[in-house]
Amino acid sequence: MSLVIFILILAALILVHELGHFSVAKFFGIKVEEFGIGFPPRLLYIRKGETVYSINLLFFGGFVKIFGEDAAEGKGNPRSFASKSRWIQAAVIVAGICMNILFAWLALSVGYMAGLPTSVDHEGFGTVTNSQVMVTAVLPNSPAQSAGLAPQDVIEKAQTSDASLDVRTLNTNMQAQVVRNFIADHGSQSVILTILRDGEEKTFLAKPVSGLVEGKMAIGVELDDVGVLKLSPPLALAQGAILTYGMTVSTAEGLGTFFWQIIRGAADFGSVAGPIGIASIGSQAVSQGFSDVVVLTALISINLAIINLLPIPGLDGGRLFIILIEGIIRRTINPRITNIITIGGMAALIILMLVVSYHDVLRLIG
């Protein structure tokens, strides 16, 4: 059931993207022939004015059929996409990207209204309450990973053979640092950690090793003091904008690094997730609760926006790049050349998706 819910969320994100194209095309008087929920074959449809609104069998995402995207089709027709200025064409294309960013902002803002897990060190509006020591990351091939610790585990107690640290009794916002110091100070001894996961207490044993953290013994976890940040609607919108900006910048940097590594032939495909990996992560997020769903939904929406902005034929960014070239040379590129480039770009994207999906499967079975 969690997987079904997440697939519906992902479909909604794609639909939001297409709604951006649809709305701006309508605003500039461009004829939109069809706005479809899902992909054909059609199940139901209604015609309102010049546009068909359809519900289709392959209920995943949606599409907008804009008249005159093929320059030859709309030649000479003032209602066609091709007849509009290149500024208007660019606005229609970029609208889908903007809608995904806007959706992420609204999702995070709603999250802050309900209360989102936030580090006590956060810079922005409001005050974080009810902080706990939380595992934020587990290093690969570390004692913590071997023991079974996972992100979002809340540490309640740490023990060694000669000492015990009950984190629940501490009255400081620096609890995570206290736990780090406890582990480092007893580096020669195995550490027994009592954690809270999904409302259930669990116990794990890990022996610190050297080399994970410079100058210290460590078990390979990143810890932070995490509480809940709940804000009024105006402050939630402001804080949502701050987080959206930060997530957009970091996502762009990450994707930029990944594609640069592909060009250099040094890409780590195991570090990214394709459709299978995203579905697995998404279903887990749905089962973990509202806040996880909100953050993951916003992150995927931002990823869709940035990926679509890449100047790759077949994506919105590729179409924008062609519009830019046409603006520079002051004439329309031959539609046959555009179609060939687009098909080539789509083929490259499909190959990339298959490679990433292959690594998704390896992670799931490995």
pLDDT tens-place string over residues 140-155: 888 888 888 888 889 8
> Which is more confidently placed, 206 or 234?
234
> Which is more confidently placed, 50 or 188?
50
Q: 63: which DSSP letter? A: E
CB 195 within 8 A of CB 204: yes
Q: Which residues contact 116 (CB under 8 A, 6 or more apart)?
A: 108, 228, 229, 230, 291, 294, 295
The CA-CA-CA angle for residues 277, 279, 282, to 5°, reads: 110
Q: Which of 215-219, 227-231, 314-318, 344-348 has the lowest mean pLDDT?
A: 344-348
* pLDDT for residue 89: 93
> Which is more confidently placed, 212 or 366?
212
* pLDDT for residue 314: 77
* pLDDT for residue 244: 95
Cβ atoms within 10 A of the Cβ of 198, count?
Answer: 10
> Which is more confidently placed, 5 or 360?
5
Most confident region among 12-16, 53-57, 130-134, 240-244 by mean pLDDT? 240-244
Task: Name the nearest CA neighbour of 222 among 138, 121, 145, 150.
Answer: 138
Cβ atoms within 10 A of the Cβ of 124, count?
Answer: 16
* pLDDT for residue 145: 87
The per-residue pLDDT of the chain, averaged, comes to 82
Cα–chain-centroid distance for residue 144? Answer: 26
Whether the predicted pLDDT of 297 surpasses 80: yes
* pLDDT for residue 271: 58
Strands 209-213 vs 32-48: parallel, antiparallel or unpaired: unpaired
Q: Alpha-carbon torsion 166, 168, 170, 172, what sign?
A: positive
Cβ atoms within 10 A of the Cβ of 238, count?
Answer: 16
Measure the CA–CA gap between 169 and 172, rounded to whole angstroms. 9
Mean per-residue pLDDT, 255-280: 65
- The amino acid at residue 240 is G
Instruction: For residue range 136-191, list pLDDT tens digits in order.
Output: 888 888 888 888 888 888 988 888 877 788 777 776 666 888 888 888 887 778 88
Instruction: For residue range 10-23, list pLDDT tens digits in order.
Output: 778 888 999 999 99
Most confident region among 88-97, 142-151, 251-260 by mean pLDDT? 88-97
Cα–Cα distances (Å) from 165 to 152, 154, 192, 224, 297, in that order, read 20, 14, 10, 16, 37
* pLDDT for residue 29: 92
Q: 46: which DSSP letter? A: E
Task: Name the nearest CA neighbour of 213 among 136, 139, 121.
Answer: 139
3-state helix, strand, coil in the chain (%, to 5): 50, 25, 25
> Which is more confidently placed, 274 or 289?
289
* pLDDT for residue 69: 81
Cβ atoms within 10 A of the Cβ of 136, count?
Answer: 15
Mean per-residue pLDDT, 219-245: 93
